[in-house]
């Protein structure tokens, strides 16, 4: 069975149920029940019209629940209202679904879970496995999220920025489980880009594609982290890079710059360099300046200091770093790197070891520990 | 979205405010304490923040490798070991502040006299997955 096809049908089916008068939370439950049944039944008995099958089964599940829950009159009203089957889900349905699942009243983790289920068509179990929590916990998280947004009315367009932040979280902070969350985030962003014409949606899609292109080279065979400068660029996916660059250029041409476009531009400049030594750091610094004008985030300032160090020398990088709060995540790691480039391996080794203790993920901790070890061996 | 371990100690934590050993509580106070703990876990499941909760027996042994072809060496328990873990709860929350808030609530579990124990809990973040976008 083609799971990707099955999942791509879910938001449309949900849209149809909601348009038929089902409330969002009940419709979403019904579609999830139908999805679970499809996964069970389709391998032996594939339907001729998968979407029609899902609509019929979801609607029946919804009615079964409604029948059990509410008075007969309500159900009959709904039956009367049932439109002839067949109308294709519209782009507006899809958009409204994205906005609802990323609604600002939700916490980030709830918005992520609801988006993956209602828009992505993943089962609760898959989402629970992806985020390493028990299925019952994930079920409650999703069900609370649905209750929160069930009564939200969409009489005016939502802020696409909220949706983009959720999709970025799925992409960037995804755990590696059975489901490929990075690929899932790309799929959902592609679909959003098809439903709405917005340069920042393109910017995020380009950013994801450009980073995804480097995926194979980011991890050593032993699972260790390979930094950008040491990656085997021959293993970068040139198809994804070309697509990302093309999408980004079309977005930039519209002259409505946003933070995702600027981030994608930086990724594109890295992708464009045949070797790490040929990276156009001067232009990268300029993009960080743009990014700072757009966001003024301390993390951007930190990354800018790295770029300044590469463009104008480690002393300039350290000067840029000195203006920042040293409690920032990765501050010490950046300081270690710049001190090493400045020809001070003893300080660098000490800072790498300190950075390793402060790391928030294992891959980074091990990488920083190895950096410290490498310099300490040389010192002996 | 980050996981935290809330660690409860038999020994090794600073003394709680309401510092009466459990065997000197009334049976009803013990039941009230247990109920508070299980209600707390149930509530976190409802909020979608619960991952795991386990309690450990106080008795344990130390084990180490003793060379190829030899059985492992066991030793202990060591009564003098300062730190002794009693159990834990693992939560998955949106922020560090939320983890601290929940640990505070868990520490309010009732003890002797039905009053909160004000027990010290250790809050430890899990390592996260490494982010894709770092530059």
Beta-carbon separation of B127 and A108 below 8 A: no
- Tally helices (H) and strands (E) across chain B: 2, 6
The tens digit of pLDDT for each residue in B80-98 reads: 777 889 999 999 999 999 9
Q: Which of A150-154, A210-214, B5-9, B130-134 has the lowest mean pLDDT?
A: A150-154
Q: pTM surpassing 0.90? A: no
Taking CB atoms and an 8 Å cutoff, what residues of chain A touch B94? 107-109
On the question of pLDDT at A324 being above 80, the answer is yes
| Top-tier CATH class for B2-125 | alpha beta
Q: Which residue of B has its CA nearest to A359?
A: B127
Beta carbons within 10 angstroms of residue A355's beta carbon? 26
What's the pLDDT score for residue A380? 63
Nearest by CB: B129 against A107, A207, A361? A361
Instruction: Show the 3-state SS of B23-78.
Output: HHCCHHHHHHHHHHHHHHHHHHHHCCCEEEEEECCCCCCEEECCCCCCCCEEECCC
Mean predicted confidence (pLDDT) in A125-142: 94
Å between A134 CA and nearest CA of chain B: 6
So what's the ipTM on this one? 0.85
CB proximity under 8 Å: A 136-195 to B: 136-138, 140-142, 144-145, 169, 171-176, 182
Nearest by CB: B128 against A108, A330, A361? A361
Is the separation of the CB atoms in A306 and A325 below 8 Å? no
CB proximity under 8 Å: A 316-355 to B: 330
Beta-carbon separation of B92 and A266 below 8 A: no
Q: Judge whether A207 is closer than 8 Å to chain B, CB to CB.
A: yes
B51 closest CA partner among A203, A135, A270 = A135
Beta-carbon separation of B45 and A140 below 8 A: yes
What's the pLDDT score for residue A112? 96
The tens digit of pLDDT for each residue in A143-172 reads: 999 999 988 877 676 789 999 999 999 999
Beta-carbon separation of A211 and B132 below 8 A: yes
């Amino acid at each position: 069975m083609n799971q990707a096809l099955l999942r791509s049908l879910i938001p449309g089916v949900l849209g149809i149920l909601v348009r038929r008068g089902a409330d969002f939370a009940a419709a979403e439950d019904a579609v999830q029940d139908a999805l679970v049944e499809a996964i069970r039944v389709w391998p032996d008995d594939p339907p001729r019209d998968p979407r029609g099958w899902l609509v019929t089964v979801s609607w029946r599940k919804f009615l079964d629940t409604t029948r059990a829950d509410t008075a007969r009159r309500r159900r009959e009203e709904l039956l009367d209202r049932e439109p002839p089957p067949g109308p294709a889900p519209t782009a507006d349905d899809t958009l409204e679904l994205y906005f609802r699942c990323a609604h600002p009243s939700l916490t980030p983790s709830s918005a992520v879970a609801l988006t993956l289920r209602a828009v992505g068509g993943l089962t609760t179990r898959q989402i629970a496995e992806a985020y390493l929590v028990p299925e019952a916990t994930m079920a409650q998280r999703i069900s609370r999220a649905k209750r929160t947004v069930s009564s939200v009315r969409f009489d005016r367009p939502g802020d696409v920025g909220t949706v983009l932040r959720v999709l970025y979280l799925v992409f960037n902070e995804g755990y590696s489980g059975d489901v490929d969350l990075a690929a899932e985030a790309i799929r959902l962003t592609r679909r959003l880009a098809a439903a709405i014409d917005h340069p920042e949606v393109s910017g995020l899609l380009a950013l994801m594609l450009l980073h995804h292109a480097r995926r194979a080279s980011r991890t050593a065979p032993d699972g260790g982290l390979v930094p950008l400068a040491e990656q085997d660029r021959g293993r970068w996916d040139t198809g994804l890079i070309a697509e990302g660059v093309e999408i980004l250029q079309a977005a930039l041409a519209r002259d409505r710059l946003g933070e995702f476009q600027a981030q994608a531009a930086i990724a594109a400049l890295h992708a464009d360099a045949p070797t790490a030594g040929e990276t156009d750091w001067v232009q990268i610094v300029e993009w960080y300046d743009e990014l700072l004008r757009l966001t003024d985030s301390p993390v951007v300032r930190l990354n800018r200091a790295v770029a300044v160090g590469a463009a104008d020398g480690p002393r300039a990088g350290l000067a840029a770093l000195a203006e920042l709060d040293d409690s920032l995540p990765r501050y010490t790691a950046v300081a270690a790197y710049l001190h090493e480039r400045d020809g001070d391996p003893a300080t660098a080794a000490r800072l790498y070891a300190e950075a390793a203790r402060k790391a928030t993920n294992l891959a980074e901790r091990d990488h920083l520990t190895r950096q410290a070890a490498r310099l300490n061996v040389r010192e002996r | 979205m980050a996981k935290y371990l809330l660690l409860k100690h038999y020994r090794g934590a600073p003394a709680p405010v309401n510092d009466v050993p459990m065997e000197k509580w009334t049976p009803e106070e013990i039941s009230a304490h247990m109920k508070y703990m299980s209600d707390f876990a149930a509530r976190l499941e409802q909020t979608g923040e619960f991952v795991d909760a386990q309690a450990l027996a106080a008795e344990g042994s130390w084990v180490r490798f003793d060379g190829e072809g030899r059985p492992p060496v066991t030793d202990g328990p060591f009564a003098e070991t300062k730190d002794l873990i009693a159990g834990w709860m693992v939560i998955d929350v949106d922020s560090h502040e939320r983890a601290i808030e929940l640990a505070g609530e868990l520490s309010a579990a009732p003890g002797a006299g039905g009053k909160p124990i004000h027990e010290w809990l250790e809050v430890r973040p899990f390592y996260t997955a490494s982010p894709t976008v770092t530059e």
